[in-house]
Amino acid sequence: MDLYKAIIDIINQIPRGMLTSYTQLAEALGDQTVARAIRRVIRDEISWGEAPCHRVIEDQGFIGEDESEKRVRLLKNEGLRIDNSRIRDFERVMFREFNSTKPLQRLRAKQKQLAGKAKLVNSFTEVRTVGGVDVAYKNKEGYGAVATFDYKTRELIEVKKAKTQVKFPYLPTYLTFREFPLIKKLVSKLKELPTILLIDGNGILHPYRAGLATHAGVVLNLPTIGVAKSLLCGKIEKIPSWIGEHPAIRMAGNVIGYALKISKGKPVFISPGSNICFDTALNVVKNLAAESRLPLPLMTAHQNAGNFRRQN
């Protein structure tokens, strides 16, 4: 779905001389928790020519970090009064009556549904090949690469690249709706599907057990492993100190992943996506360790995606 368009459509509903807050806008989209991310999207990715972004401000009527001369001038031209970086009588000019289908609410429901379909058992008897997929960005374009390796010999078999227009901004816990369309396109270009696909993102290590790797595993019916560079949720039993150490990550008392120290640097956070068990997911990533923080297939996909972006 085109969430950029949804955000622009909602902002365009704010009447002249009225305002809304980032929190209220996030609520209109269906998830108040992404208010901070929505502020960044409006600031960095939506032009004022597309929507009256000056009418979206901080909670409690504060203009916020973007108190530019242009914003202040536009607000004053619409009859709004400002005292000490705050809108006077903010509640009186606060607009809440948005006409919205609450798209994030619908996408969250889809995530929960997909989480229920994930299978944490191996759907294969032998690991022959392992692929890695990653996406790099330039403005609103995504540049992706997938690299497949022989699991035993570690020889590179195939690399495919693709690009696409990105219609979904980065929002925490919603990464799948930004990246999966391009991942699906990349996988369809492979001559042969890998036994397992490593994805730069989370599997069940997700507040709703529905990260990008889980989504991809269920929809593509592929064994997938999430390999994330930052911890999205859960609690690590301890910080790993030696290479190969992999303390568990728990959420609500249940193991949802591992913090694996794969190199001298920071750990990566491993979790099964779907069609694979915990032990196999962990061992595959360990066995494909490279000099970098990422396992070999992901490192190669990351390098190819970055080079592809620079060439375009």
Q: How far apart, in Å, are the Cα atoms of 91 and each of 19, 69, 73, 77?
A: 9, 23, 20, 19
> At 226, phi and psi to the nearest 5?
-90, 130
CA distance 267 to 244: 10
Q: How far apart, in Å, are the Cα atoms of 212 and each of 55, 116, 187, 216?
A: 33, 14, 14, 6
Rounded to 10 deg, the angle between the 3-11 and 22-29 helix axes is 130
> At 127, phi and psi to the nearest 5?
-90, 110
Torsional class of 95: left (φ above 0), alpha (ψ -120 to 50), beta (otherwise) = beta
What's the maximum distance between 2 C-alpha atoms anywhere in the chain? 70
| Catalytic machinery residues | 53
Tell me whether strands 235-236 and 268-274 are parallel, antiparallel or unpaired.
unpaired
Residues 59 and 18 sit within 8 Å (Cβ to Cβ)? no
Tell me whether strands 254-260 and 268-274 are parallel, antiparallel or unpaired.
antiparallel
Closest CA to 154 of 130, 186, 126: 130
CA distance 166 to 41: 13
Residues 153 and 115 sit within 8 Å (Cβ to Cβ)? no
